[in-house]
Amino acid sequence: MLLHWSPRSPFVRKVMIFAHETGLADRITTTRTPVAMLAPHAGLMAENPLSKIPTLRLEDGSVLYDSYVICEYLDTLHGGPRLIPTEGPARFLELRRHALGTGFLDLLILWRNERDRAQPLQPMMDAFAVKTRAALAAVEAEIDSVPRGLAQFTFAVLGSYLDFRFADLDWRANCPRFAAFHAEFEKRPSMQATLVTEG
């Protein structure tokens, strides 16, 4: 399988952590595919018209995109317990928690884009700050009960992305449980194999 990849994308990192945690990383070849909101990648658009990563080309030439879709597919390939529950209340709890983590990452990316404009719109900046405080409180409230799986991996990526792009927020100050979770999860081989770089 071929994964369109970037060393700084939190959504790519989520997929790669999932692949490492399920023993599938060796079946994935990565190709560096730079994408930007203002610069659509013509080559990538032949496979994903949205010009977004991660995009996964399967062995049969078919293509999957969106990190959740790719992780759901990978969850069907390994021999261990499913990391995304397949039915019942557990599935919807996992999906809701994953939506919190992924939505939070989306928010942070939009905030960073606005922050980097020559003249950021202050009401939007203020709204991002309010939503970030609320989202951090939500993660803090339930992080200890999140089992190993897609949502947990997403929260681990979230903590690292906050460190990488929003170090000034000092998010750990009001989130001791989230901070403790992240410090421990960061030691896992899947995290060490997917460290964020500036490259």
Mean pLDDT over residues 156-165, rounded? Answer: 97
126 band by pLDDT with thresholds 50, 70 and 90: very high
Is residue 151 pLDDT above 70, yes or no?
A: yes
Whether residue 199 has pLDDT greater than 70: no
- At a CB cut-off of 8 Å and minimum separation 6, what does 110 contact? 128
Q: What is the mean pLDDT of residues 161-169?
A: 95
Q: Please say if the pLDDT value at position 24 is more than 90.
A: yes
The continuous run of DSSP H or E covering 39 comes out as none
pLDDT tens for 59-104 read 999 999 999 999 999 999 999 999 999 999 999 999 999 999 999 9
Q: How far is CA 191 from the centre of its chain?
A: 12
Alpha-carbon distance of 164 to 143, in angstroms, equals 20
Phi/psi class of residue 79: alpha, beta or left (left: φ > 0; alpha: ψ in -120 to 50)?
Answer: alpha
Give 45's pLDDT tier (boundaries 50, 70, 90). very high
Helix (H) or strand (E) holding 151: helix 150-165
Beta-bridge partner residues of 178: none
**pLDDT tier for residue 37 given thresholds of 50, 70 and 90:** confident
Average pLDDT over residues 17-35: 96
